[in-house]
Amino acid sequence: MTALKGGAVESFLRKPDPRCRVILIYGPDAGLVSERMEALAKLLVDDPSDPFQLVRLDGDEVAGDPLRLADEAHTVPLFGGRRAIRVRAGAKNLAPCLAPLLTTPPVDAFVLVEAGDLSPKNPVRSAVEASPNAAALPCYADEARDLPRIVDAGLAEHGLRIEEEARGFFISLLGADRLSTRSEIEKLALYARGTGVVRLSDVEAVMADTAAVNLDAVVDSAFTGDAETLDSMLGRCLAEGSDAGMLVGAVLRHAYVLQKARIAIESGTDFTAAETAARMHFKRKDAFRRQLRNWSAAGLDEVIERLADAQATVRRNPRIAGAALSRALLGIALAAVRRG
């Protein structure tokens, strides 16, 4: 069977072809790979939590013993019933282990192979796609046209529907990773539980605060020199779909606010008065206070110049936007450490 695409993947997941005893689920969207693997396991066995019905094997261990997988797949269940073997591919090549199963497929079991992004020339992907006894299900990042259906279906599972305006805003805040999207849908469903309808105010309450908290963490970790937190939170923002141009703009605005306060202090304004004039949220006051004490107006001039260059790079070349932003913010964090 050739590789399935688009709607054919969803159709297969609803009703797997019984002739396809080896099923490969792969792709760059790890969340979607996991979600589809779980859904398929529920269809193919009565109780996925039963280790006799759903056998879990490590791919690298299986690759070290090529006959183990075939022996497991052809084992007749002692008490009958349906069985599946779930194999998570690792660094080692699984193709030799799959070869006998693709030629002589098991009768009483399915073999489910979970993998990351595989090139068309990958031996496992090539072997599965070429076999009439197997199916390959690619999992790519959600596209914008897919998200309304995913959101509606996810909320419907909780007895909820979402207003059109609320759906549009919610989707604008989602990233491309299915696992992250599913997590946000679950949070929204929990918040709106029992109401029957998700409204714009619900989305704002659940999502806008999350995005703002993540952005604040990026800004404050950069200016206080916390490189570890910066790396983690910036990665999360970018993975969840935050625009690099929006992020660098937010950091630049903070730099101007910080510089204005520093200029006031260096011109004789009381420290507390300058801090109060900045109108920083109470949760960020401690971090802002440390930044005010650590940075000088001249040092912030250099930061603003660095951020302006990064902003120009992001606008000119979106393909390297994330890298340009990361480099600029790490430079600020390192400068903060030197000053501290």
Q: Would you kindly state where each structural domain of the chain is located, as residue ranges?
A: 7-138, 147-198, 212-339
Strand-strand pairing, 197-198 and 161-162? parallel
Confidence band of 18 (pLDDT split at 50, 70, 90): confident
Strands (DSSP E) along the chain, which ranges? 22-26, 54-58, 83-88, 109-114, 134-138, 161-162, 197-198
CB 181 within 8 A of CB 215: no
pLDDT of 286-337, one tens digit each? 889 999 899 999 999 999 999 989 888 888 888 898 898 999 999 999 999 9
Q: Report the 10 Å Cβ neighbour count for 229.
A: 16
CB 85 within 8 A of CB 73: yes
pLDDT at residue 70 tops 90:
no
pLDDT at residue 113 tops 90:
yes
Greater model confidence, 142 or 301:
301
pLDDT at residue 80 tops 70:
no
Greater model confidence, 333 or 179:
333
pLDDT at residue 243 tops 90:
no
For 134, the 3-state DSSP assignment is strand
pLDDT > 70 fraction of the chain, expressed in percent and rounded: 91
pLDDT at residue 198 tops 90:
yes
Pick the CATH number of 212-339 from 2.40.160.50, 2.60.40.10, 1.20.272.10, 3.40.50.300: 1.20.272.10
- What is the distance between the alpha carbons of residues 196 and 150, in angstroms, rounded to a whole number? 18
pLDDT of 264-287, one tens digit each? 999 999 888 888 888 887 678 888
- pLDDT for 72: 87
- pLDDT for 7: 72
Greater model confidence, 239 or 87:
87
- pLDDT for 33: 86
Topology of domain 7-138 in CATH is Rossmann fold (3.40.50)
pLDDT at residue 176 tops 80:
no
Greater model confidence, 317 or 1:
317
pLDDT > 90 fraction of the chain, expressed in percent and rounded: 26
Where residue 6 falls (left for φ over 0; alpha for ψ -120 to 50; beta otherwise) is left
- pLDDT for 332: 93
pLDDT at residue 177 tops 70:
no
Confidence band of 192 (pLDDT split at 50, 70, 90): very high
Greater model confidence, 113 or 242:
113
Greater model confidence, 94 or 28:
94
CA of 263: how far to CAs of 214, 270, 321, in Å? 28, 11, 31
pLDDT at residue 46 tops 90:
no
Q: At 31, which amino acid appears? A: G
pLDDT at residue 144 tops 80:
no
pLDDT of 203-221, one tens digit each? 878 875 566 667 888 899 9
For the chain, give the mean pLDDT. 86
pTM recorded for the entire structure = 0.52
Burial of 268 (0-12, 13-18, 19+ CB in 10 A): exposed
Q: How many CA atoms lie within 13 A of 314 on its CB side?
A: 21
Confidence band of 234 (pLDDT split at 50, 70, 90): confident
- pLDDT for 208: 59
